[in-house]
Amino acid sequence: MKQISLPFVAKLALVLLSIIMLGYLAILGKSLLSPLLFSLLMAFLLLPFSSFLERRFKFKRSIAALTSVILMIAVIYGLMYFLVGQLGELWTDWPLLVKQVTSAFEEIKHWGNKTFHTNLDVQGNHIFMDNAEKALATSASIIGATLLTLSSSLLFLAFTLLFTFFILNYRGLLFNFLTAVFAEEHKTKVSDIVREIQRIIKKYITGLFLQMLIVTLLMITALSILGVKYAILLGLIAGIFNIIPYLGISTALVISALITFATAGAAKALLVILVFVGVHTIDGNLLMPLIVGSKVKINALFAFIGIIIGEMIWGISGMFLCIPYLAMLKIIFERVDGLQAWGILLGEEYKSPRKRRTYRITKKIKLEDAE
């Protein structure tokens, strides 16, 4: 069969057209594709447990998949129940927090008048007070918007759980489809790609959740020692937001600093910022190499671009999904002829192998850097 060689401009036009079409389809199919892609990650995470039930206890595949999903529902329900309770306490104290912020604003204004011998605009102060009162007066609409967001999140969660069950139950059928849709000479390569994606993403998701748990415990412990109000809630926010690379920890820092400033003043808010910096340093230099490792080798430039594009298309869910799916694309690019250059572009710059660091806990227990 004669191959047609297209000029570079035609190839570039086709690539750009394909990217635009895929982006448009992703926007149109957000309600379906977002929970479906989440479900695929959850299926990778639950696959070892489901396979264990089938192999050890002779469960049918459907029963094993259902049991795995029920276990995940129990974990999510426990986390949400605890989080909603903490948020309810914060919402009860919200008028008091607004009052404290207003008082802090007054103190800053008087300090500025004394220090710089200036007269701040009194009318501007009245405008600020009026806006604060209006914000409290519209609390009913805020609650309605919150309930609407919660209901949409619950619908998203329901679709995710349903898709997770179907992917686990029909994983053999899906794997056979992937190997059958390609030519016979490519079946071995397709099988290797699927297994490699499953192995790396499973390790990545497991490490990510373990990292989230450790960051949450570190933040709760440090904030509790400082006597920060809502220490448990702020620790949970820091751990959950830490899942979103780069931007998540910054967002959690701003939220925690503002709430601490409203409840305990500027000095303690500064201490909270220092705690965040310290925990983030430990996370980036110790937890990430030891737990998550460098299995998902996406360079920071394209990871950041992916996060921004993911947020533009799918919001917060897109920010979380971009890294694991960029890793999947990199694995595919590296193993498909003609696409290796794209795999190089997404990956990190080659560095000579270094000796893996070892951290000895006891005489018999030691930790080594992940590969």
Cα 180 from Cα 134, distance rounded (Å) = 62
On whether residue 160 sits in a domain, the answer given is yes
Domain membership of residue 70 (yes or no) is yes
pLDDT surpassing 50 at residue 139? no
pLDDT tier at 143, thresholds 50, 70, 90: very low
Cα–chain center distance at 26 = 19
Tell me whether residue 323 is in a domain: no
| More confident: 209 or 102 | 209
- Give the mean pLDDT of 108-128: 60
CB atoms within 10 A of CB 244: 20
Task: Identify the CA nearest to 287 among candidates 350, 217, 199, 197.
Answer: 217
Give the pTM.
0.75
Give the integer Cα–Cα distance in Å for 305 and 308: 5
Quick check: 44 pLDDT over 70? yes
Tell whether the torsion through CA atoms of 235, 239, 244 and 246 is positive or negative.
positive
CA 242, CA 253: separation in Å to the nearest integer?
Answer: 10
Give 54-111 pLDDT, tens digit per residue: 999 999 999 999 999 999 999 888 888 887 787 777 777 777 777 776 777 677 767 7
Given this model, what pLDDT does residue 146 score? 45
| In a domain? residue 67 | yes
Q: How far apart are CA 316 and CA 336, in angstroms?
A: 31
Whether 222 is covered by a domain: the verdict is: no
State the average pLDDT over residues 250-262. 84
- Residue 191: inside a domain, yes or no? no
Four-CA torsion 288, 289, 292, 298, nearest 10 degrees: 90
- The C-alpha atoms of residue 320 and residue 306 are separated, in whole angstroms, by 10
Confidence of residue 36 (pLDDT cuts 50, 70, 90): very high
Q: Which domain holds residue 96?
A: 9-169
Residue with tokens 């989230």: 212
- Indicate the pairing of strand 358-360 with strand 366-368: antiparallel
Contact criterion met (CB below 8 Å) for 283 and 215: yes
Per the domain annotation, does 17 fall within a domain?
Answer: yes
Give, as one character, the DSSP assignment of residue 358: E
What is the per-residue pLDDT for 206? Answer: 82
Percent of the chain with pLDDT strictly greater than 90? 20
**Domain count of the fold of the chain:** 1
Establish if 118 belongs to a structural domain. yes
Q: Residue 276's pLDDT is what?
A: 92
